[in-house]
Structure 1
Amino acid sequence: MSKSDITALLPEQVKLLCFDTPELLTDALAQHISQSLSDAVRSRGAAAIALSGGRTPLPLFKRLSQSPLPWSSISVTLADDRWLATDQADSNAGLIQSHLLQHQAQQARFFGLWQADKSAHDAEADCAQRLASLPAELDLVVLGMGNDGHTASLFPCAEELEHALETDEPCAAVTPTSAPHVRMTLSAKRLLASRERILHLKGADKLETLQQALLDDDIRIMPIRLFLRQPLTIYWSP
């Protein structure tokens, strides 16, 4: 699978940026996010970004934490999270708190999804109320992608997928059968209510998954296809 093969399949509204190393990707993406958030604060007085968790974006989080941005005017939330306490290793909120909300970025306003006293399904309404404090349109959404074509926690194996894809609510509880932990995910509608969407990928396997996603259009088999139908910038490195 070559980058040129992928580029030939991309729809007009999708842009693929390839970098020789993860470090070069981190530099470029951190610079772009920093500029976008700064511009939003300058234009509108505030900015809001939704980030994805996992291990791939940790260097990005560390880099952003050192950026001299107007963090007190920036809100941060998650595209999705596992329904775990923040001190658990698989908690995306925990990763955000320990890798991003440090140094310069300590002043950011963080809107986590997890709640200690309820199941994910029971917490949907409270989570929606919490997310209502964010602007109706996010400035940036940074997504990842699994090799099954899921993004955020829009898993093709989950019974709740159709609800998460179609609901007008900002979030949905999801129980994947192919991955551990119940999740809370921003709904498709909430993720698409954003000025810009970025897909952050690492590894040759992700190019193979991307190719598979581009060869068909069934969103329920590979939910990432929904976002490939919209304006999207893909940042990829080996």
Structure 2
Amino acid sequence: MTIERNVFSSKEKLADGLAEAVADNLIAGIEERGAASLAVSGGSTPKRFFETLSKREDVDWEQVSITLVDERWVDETSDRSNARLVRETLLQGPAAAARFIPLYSGGEEPDALAIERTALAVAAAPVPFDAVILGMGNDGHTASFFPGGDALEAALSSEGPVIAIRAPGAGEPRVTFTLQCLLDTGALYLHIEGEEKAQVLDKALETGPIDAMPVRAVLSQSIKPVQLYWCP
């Protein structure tokens, strides 16, 4: 698949551009069906984007549901929690009125019952998503589609919605939306920053095994165009 490249000269301009695009997606979703939904990624990269998007007063945030594309299986008190990042940076200002649906549903392990609880929770989000924002690791993972993941094949092929996964490079056990669910969106973004990530992306765009660089599953699919947002 050919990806649409949006290149910015700074992180601030990227955050402004991505926030503008996502706000437009949410506004359009609300106008069309009275509600909108957004799935975001965690990690350090999206913090500036979250802070910028949170200030958008033109979005009727009370009609917006926000969730994560994946999560470490940790409580929100942990500094490893993506939910904690979302609450501290995105669910602020006008965006504090949005409904947040965390993926961690309690317990020490994402066992079958825990995943059932998570699946029930995310079923409350309007579908399809209006926007999904993915990141990418230096190992070629996206969401929690990690090389060596014990449930990678299922995560890439299952009808979902969510699945537990463990991988050598993932740290804690994880819960992730399946690829099929993430592609059920009005807009699909890949947000990366820095030259090293650009080199990883170039490698991922080359022909090669998906299990070695699982982001290839997103880049090679023909269901939803990928909009790249990148800055040096």
TM-score grouping bracket, smaller chain normalisation: over 0.9
Give the 5 Å matches for 1:46-195: 46-68=35-57, 69-117=59-107, 119-122=109-112, 123-195=114-186
Structure 2 residue aligned with 1:17 = 6
Answer whether contact 2:77 2:84 (CA < 8 A) is retained.
yes
For residues 97-137 of structure 1, give each alpha carbon's deviation from its aligned partner in whole angstroms, at most 9, with x where no partner exists: 11111110111011100122352123111111111112231
1:4 counterpart residue number = none
Q: Structure 1 stretches of 5 or more lacking a match?
A: 1-10
The correspondence for 1:219, drawn from 197, 210, 219, is 210
Is 1:236 aligned to 2:227, yes or no?
Answer: no
1:149-208 superposed Cα distances (whole Å, 9 cap, x missing partner): 110001012111111111112011111211311111111111111111000000101111
CA distance in 1: counterparts of 2:106 and 2:150, whole angstroms? 24
Mapped to 2, the partners of 1:126 and 1:118 lie a distance apart of 14
SS of residue in 2 equivalent to 1:199 = strand
Query: Identity of counterpart residues, as a percentage?
Result: 37
**What's 1:3 paired with?**
none
Q: Give aligned pairs, total.
A: 227
The one-letter amino acid paired with 1:131 is V
Residue type of the partner of 1:28? G
* C-alpha contact 2:65 2:126 (8 A) present in aligned 1: no
Secondary structure of the structure 2 residue equivalent to 1:195: coil
Q: Which runs of 5+ in 2 are unaligned?
A: none
Q: After the TM superposition, which parts of structure 1 deviate over 4 Å for at least 4 consecutive aligned residues?
A: none
Q: Following the alignment from structure 1 to structure 2, what is the Cα–Cα distance between the partners of residues 89 and 27? A: 26
- Matched residue type, 2:228: I
Contact preservation (8 Å) 2:25, 2:187: no
Cα shift at 1:217: 4.2
Instruction: Indicate conservation of the 8 Å contact 2:156/2:217, yes or no.
Output: no
RMSD value, Cα: 1.2
User: Does 2:15 correspond to 1:33?
Assistant: no
Q: Residues of 2 paired with 1:130 and 1:143: CA distance?
A: 21
